[in-house]
Amino acid sequence: MLLQRSVEHDSRVQREAQALADAGHHVTVAQLATSTNGPARDWQIHSVRPAAGLVRVLPRAGERALRGLQLVPTVRRLRPDVVHAHDIAMLLPGWAASRAIGARLVYDTHELATGVPYRSARANRVVGAMERALMPRCDAVVTVSQNIADRLAQRYRLACPPAVVRNVSALTTGGVAASPLRAAIGATPSEPVLLHQGAAGPDRGDGELVRALAHVDGARLVFLGHENDADRRRLERIAAEVGVGPRLSFLPVVALGELLDWTRGADVGLSLLQVDCENHRLTLPNKVFEYVAAGLPIVASRSPALQALVAAHGIGWTVDPTDPVDVARGMRAAIAARDDGQLSARLRLAARELTWDRERERLLEAYAGLSRRRR
């Protein structure tokens, strides 16, 4: 597996590597990182220090693809049967490495790479050109939602539709008696706690979440896994403007093995991706499945993918992510339903249905297809 960063906090790559190892494959994650930190595992990590001083001629996605070529010698030395390229930055290195040794190529795109908000139009053209040239040459394509799979198959006229392996959580609780979340933010047992898990940012609706808090009396809002100081200062300014500063908290990243123990200390899970780009309209974020695993009802953006998931299982509310008043309406409804036994039963049922054991079979089937198809 080729990865442009450390696998330490990449739960999707960890899940897939372990699933393939459990199925009898010998798995090595070759990453552009200086650290070999990771979980207890039945697979290997090989780290390559990213080279410094590359001239910034291409957009960032193109530069990352060039940096990724540093992994090709490692792949040639290991000589795997399959090269599994995670995300667009590893597609070109994965293709080059697989061609060099005659291996099969799997492209695993964790998003609709041409539809994200953080790339310029020029960068999206570079990304689209790479996918158009190389994706049809892959032996298998894997992605995170049916909506994105359909879009890729249509856009690139793929002979075989992408396999859908959703970001369903494989995490379990550590068995601690009480979640450390409330104590960490100083919340009382009676205060409702609203949780945003993972990195914050304007495209994730963080400002709207803070503004919505002003319309939800007595609740606490916590960003778990927030590490960007500039975003934190921006959100603290917004909180001061709307008068909710004391009810806003930030906590650092926690180890994946401890995550659900922290998550289950909240009352409501929030996912407010702004739907102003194609990727956000079609994707299913990791955090949503982690909320379900921890038993939290969800307040999420009213996007096609999230609305379908929430409605299918009856596990939360969807809102207009650009409207703090509507977001607050969803928050209040979720808080009011904390003691709703039927909602709790639906969450337990969803947690039993949305399991990695089911999802991993789609990944293993994609790999089984590699041996059935001729190169």
The full set of domains in the chain, from first to last, is 2-168+356-372 (3.40.50.2000), 181-353 (3.40.50.2000)
**Whole-Å CA distances, 181 to 160, 188, 296, 325, 333:** 45, 11, 14, 26, 22
Take residue 278 and report the two structure tokens written for it: 């194609």
| Per-residue confidence (pLDDT) for residue 375, from 0 to 100 | 47
Across 46-62, average pLDDT: 67
Cα separation, 213 vs 90, whole angstroms: 40
Q: At 203, is the pLDDT very low, low, confident or very high (cuts 50, 70, 90)? A: confident
pLDDT, tens digit, 9 for 90 and up, residues 111-138: 999 988 777 888 888 899 999 999 999 9
**Residue 160: which region, alpha, beta or left (left: phi > 0; alpha: psi -120 to 50)?**
beta
Cα separation, 287 vs 42, whole angstroms: 25
Is pLDDT above 50 for 242?
yes
| Per-residue confidence (pLDDT) for residue 228, from 0 to 100 | 84
| Per-residue confidence (pLDDT) for residue 310, from 0 to 100 | 96
- Only one residue has tokens 């075989």, namely 160
| Per-residue confidence (pLDDT) for residue 117, from 0 to 100 | 78
Least confident of 22-36, 59-73, 179-193: 59-73
Q: At 51, is the pLDDT very low, low, confident or very high (cuts 50, 70, 90)? A: confident
| Per-residue confidence (pLDDT) for residue 111, from 0 to 100 | 93
Is pLDDT above 70 for 55?
no
User: b/e map of 279-318 (b: 16 or more CB within 10 Å)?
Assistant: bbbbbbbbbbbbbbbbbbbbbbbbbebbeebbeebebbbb
| Per-residue confidence (pLDDT) for residue 372, from 0 to 100 | 65
Across 270-294, average pLDDT: 91
Cα separation, 130 vs 148, whole angstroms: 17
Least confident of 157-166, 226-235, 262-271, 336-345: 226-235
Least confident of 9-23, 33-47, 302-316: 33-47
